Chain A
Amino acid sequence: MSNWIDICAVTDLQADSGVCALVEGKQIAIFYFAKDNAVYAIDNYDPFGKVHVLSRGLIGDIKGEPMVSSPLYKQHFSLKTGQCFDDESVKNTVYAIRIENKRVEISLEG
């Protein structure tokens, strides 16, 4: 069973945008797609810019797949897999995330 960690209330999220959470010393970007009531979690680290900024990128989809675009150099990362759309060799870490009783919870286990 996954070990779910409580992060914040859904109302703390930004609709169609991102926030950053500190989870056991890790910076994790959380994005909230309001229309679908869907949340995604990805490592906040931008492997191209080498700084922790992904939570501040614009979100959207590429052919239906939810993605975030880096605020620094605009590379796109899948929010489902962490795969970078612009460079096959780069993949970021994504985390399990869910909404339970209007609370946002993350699991760091695979």
Chain B
Amino acid sequence: MSKKQTLVVIGNGMVGHNFLENLVASDIRDNYDIVTFCEEERPAYDRVHLTEFFSGKTAEDLSMVSDGFFDANNIKIHIGDKAVSIDKANKFVTSAKGVAISYDKLILATGSYAFVPPIQGHDRENCFVYRTIEDLEALTEAAKAAKVGAVVGGGLLGLEAAKALKDLNLKTNVVQFSSRLMSAQLDTGGADMLAAKIEALDISVLPSKNTRKIVDGTECKHKMEFADGTSLETDIVLYSAGIRPRDEIARISGIEVGTRGGIVINDQCKTSDPDIYAIGECAVWNEETFGLVAPGYNMGRVVVADLQGQEAQFAGADMSTKLKLNGVDVASIGDAHGNADGSLIYTYQNGADEIYKSLVVSADKKKLLGAVLVGDASGYGALSQYYLNAIDLPEHPDSLIIPSRSDESVGLGPDALPDSAQICSCFDVTKGQICSAVENGCHTMPALKDETKAATGCGGCTALLKSVLDCELEKSGFEVNTDICEHFAYTRQDLYNLMMVNEIKSFNDFLKQHGQGVGCEVCRQAIGSILASYWNEYVLSDQQMSVQDTNDTFLANMQKDGTYSVVPRMTGGEVTPEGLIAIGQIAKKYNLYTKVTGGQRVDLFGARLDQLPPIWKELIDAGFESGHAYGKSLRTVKSCVGSTWCRFGVDDSVGLAVALENRYKGLRAPHKIKFAVSGCTRECAEAQGKDIGIIATEGGWNLYVCGNGGMKPRHADLFATDLDKETLIKYIDRVLAFYVRTADRLQRTSVWMENMEGGLDYLKSVVIDDKLDICADLETHMQNVVDTYQCEWKTTIEDEDKLKRFRHFVNSDETDENILFVEERGQIRPANEDERELALAEEV
């Protein structure tokens, strides 16, 4: 017999779901049978990033529910069913579909709805709100036949929505009631600067417009008539005029609601009924509602603690925000308007660079009360710490917003923060928690993020997290040394820049000009790779030979027994029967172990050093060329058969894979690079687990970047959609050249991306928007590599001098007699130690 109580959660949005996750992770999980209602047809998804639906993210991508979550945690979810009433006296909930469930504890997480101003004609056709995936789907459909769009509301969401309209190729207008954009968060100066920047993106901003009615238009579907006598013609109207708490279930069930709406809660997030809690945007605490997810998550944590019998209270929330709107950095902290008595305001305005910053400080200039940053939000981390932790300001507070023209740093060192300082507001991670994670061995950003979850939500605290990490490492005696080795006091990227600026072409010149000693395996290999990736000279030329790692030196992969494996290139995984027969014959002749690799080609193992040239002579005669399996370089471009054969194929994935492999073959990089091309969204080539992945769509090619299988799998990021082949290649050229130039040694693209400040958005701004003005240079770089390609094995077997290197002994034609194979499953394998001893004993 179950003694369990029943806990019901109404609403499976971001906050409701986060609550469930916290609940099932807690020790009271087994005390409850858990039931949840979800009015929408799909469970929780990431509404904060809803706009990314337009840049190609699917509903699945936005989902916040891990596979099998509800089943695995034994949670009963009623999808597409709305809870409509609560019987407090008898403690049960009734749904629209007639389900009635008794509860012991009830959590209301009903969220909010988009407010639609009650203007005449507000419900005409093609008038939308911006709240759910269904809203976005309807909007997308309507946009196909539209030219002009208008967003009503110039707040945060309104500007997001404007970007969505712009992405749908509509001439976009932002119509706002107030005189300035983001009036809740920004002061006049900041709003003006933001408006200028938004206008520069070809989005019209119409301030102080009070829409009276919407009627038939002449040019467009609608005409919006404003109180000042002006009007605007538009095909689509998108309301984003704020949100209102969804409190109707509380109202009809006799639960107290606030004077301006919202379900009233106390510090424990309890409503007027002690067994009913409310969390998130539906709740009102201290006459305040919270339209961000972080406070909602926080309320959920308070409820879990309360259920556990622990003392916890919700104490309000910091509504500071930092975001990128259409590529414009905007941040607001605390009281941006200077409402407090006697507060003082500092302003910095830079018209040339379109930067605006203001500070609101207390009358004694000791404490920060608020701040606005537009165009450059880099100071957000430090400023919000001053604000949240009431840290004393420096003597001249304006030094925090005036650009530093000297080397003197005025930022707030992480050392100045108390342990209680909240670094990550999304997951409520304090500096103290981060410090103890560092102490326990998390010495890299990825490890720290994994352990603490910090910087894995909005990512706004990434830079601050990094500075706390560096500071802690330094304090505990770890030298934060980015030198690649004792011979060069530079990072790989420094060396790359030095090479380009000084046109250095050899390791010895590098050593002479910038290094000391004679080098080591680290700097030799790194510089060998740098030189090869830029100048693309023959890797075994006299001046490059000594810096190649073993595999590159002998153009083959050394295996554990000192023999090598040989991999001929099969572009796109294509091979003719004649080619296969030739490989089979060669493998047979030299008694090589043969295995098909994950990269859709054949690997031949067990070749002695001295056998490599004759094997390659035969492979080249049969039409093969080097597969570069030995290099930190492009390996393979995997593909499915695509539209040529497949019933479902949308485009010719093999053809593209072959073209791409031929283009980038031989490209040396900080680490190996793998591509894949899938001919349709079934994704048989597994492109989303590759450094560069491409998937055919009806509209062209979707490009994914920085994925990885292997040790730490990473799902690739969708970089651009529906590209034609020319643009696709242009973007890949740029991404790869930028990776080659800026990554650390032996850093895969996935880790490169994880460590990149600004992440995917930054990479897009460099590659697509040419923010650094280097795209032409990157393309030239890549074209040069393409134009100077050579099959290294072909060059090598034609050079008698180079072939001398492949003798096992410099003074004898004998071969290494210590290599010993045994047979297994019809092929050779290296003998293990016991077998080796046995063989030696027999010889004696």
Spell out A's residues near B (CB within 8 Å).
7-8, 12-17, 19-23, 27, 30, 33, 35, 49-53, 56-64, 66-67, 69, 71-72, 74, 76
Distance of A25 Cα from B561 Cα, bound (Å): 20
Given contacts A7-B810, A50-B833, A72-B560, contact A60 B818 (CB under 8 A): no
A52 & B818 in contact (Cβ 8 Å cutoff): yes
Given the complex of chains A and B, what is the CA–CA distance between A61 and B809 in angstroms? 25
- Give the shortest distance, in Å, between B205 (CB) and chain A (any CB): 60
Distance in angstroms between the alpha carbons of A109 and B448 in the assembled complex: 55
Known: A57-B550, A60-B524. 13 other contacts (CB 8 A): A14-B805, A16-B518, A19-B810, A22-B814, A27-B809, A33-B518, A49-B560, A51-B818, A60-B518, A60-B519, A60-B521, A64-B517, A72-B560
Pick from B517, B520, B553: contact of A69, CB below 8 A: B520
Task: Please pick, from A8, A53, A66, A76, the residue contacting B518 in the complex, using a CB distance under 8 A.
Answer: A66
B562 adjacent to chain A (CB < 8 Å): yes
A58–B528 Cα gap in the complex (Å)? 12
Q: Given the interface contacts A14-B546, A17-B546, A56-B550, does A49 sit within 8 Å of B519 by beta carbon?
A: no
CB contact between B553 and one of A15, A17, A52 (< 8 Å): that residue: A17
Contact A15 B818 (CB under 8 A): no
A15:B542 contact, CB within 8 angstroms: yes
Q: Does A58 lie within 8 Å of B549, measured CB to CB?
A: yes
Take A33-B518, A69-B521 as given contacts and tell me if A51 and B560 are in contact as well, using a CB distance cutoff of 8 Å: yes
Alpha-carbon gap, A33 to B810, bound state (A): 17
Inter-chain contact A71/B558, CB cutoff 8 Å: yes
Tell whether, in the assembled complex, residue B524 and residue A56 are in contact, meaning their CB atoms are under 8 Å apart.
no
Known: A27-B816, A51-B561, A72-B558. A20 touches B809 (CB 8 A): yes
- Judging by beta carbons under 8 Å apart, are A22 and B805 in contact? no
Cβ contact within 8 Å between A22 and B811: yes
Do A35 and B546 touch across chains, with their CB atoms under 8 A apart? no
User: Inter-chain contact count A-B, CB under 8 Å?
Assistant: 99
Interface size grouping (class) on chain B: 35 or more
Indicate with 1 or 0, residue by residue over B806-817, a CB within 8 angstroms of chain A CB atoms.
001111101010
Residues of A within 8 A of B749 (CB): none
Check B487–A49 contact: CB distance below 8 A.
no
B486 at the A interface (CB under 8 A): yes
B289 at the interface (CB under 8 A from A): no
13 contacts between A and B (CB under 8 A): A13-B810, A15-B546, A17-B553, A21-B811, A27-B818, A35-B518, A50-B833, A51-B819, A57-B521, A57-B550, A58-B549, A61-B487, A61-B518
A20 to B521, CA, bound (A): 19
Chain B residues closer than 8 Å to A61, beta-carbon distance: 487, 517-520
Q: Are B810 and A59 touching (Cβ within 8 A)? A: no
C-alpha gap A62/B343 in the complex (Å): 61
Known interface pairs A52-B562, A72-B558; A58-B520 also in contact (CB < 8 Å): yes
Q: Which residue of A lies closest to B563 (CB)?
A: A51
Answer whether residue B525 sits at the interface, using C-beta atoms and an 8 A cutoff: yes
Chain A residues in 8 Å Cβ range of B549: 58, 71
Of chain B, the residue at the smallest CB distance from A17 is B546
Given A50-B833, A71-B558: A22 in contact with B550 (beta carbons within 8 A): no
Residue of B whose beta carbon sits closest to that of A38: B518
A66 to B609, CA, bound (A): 26
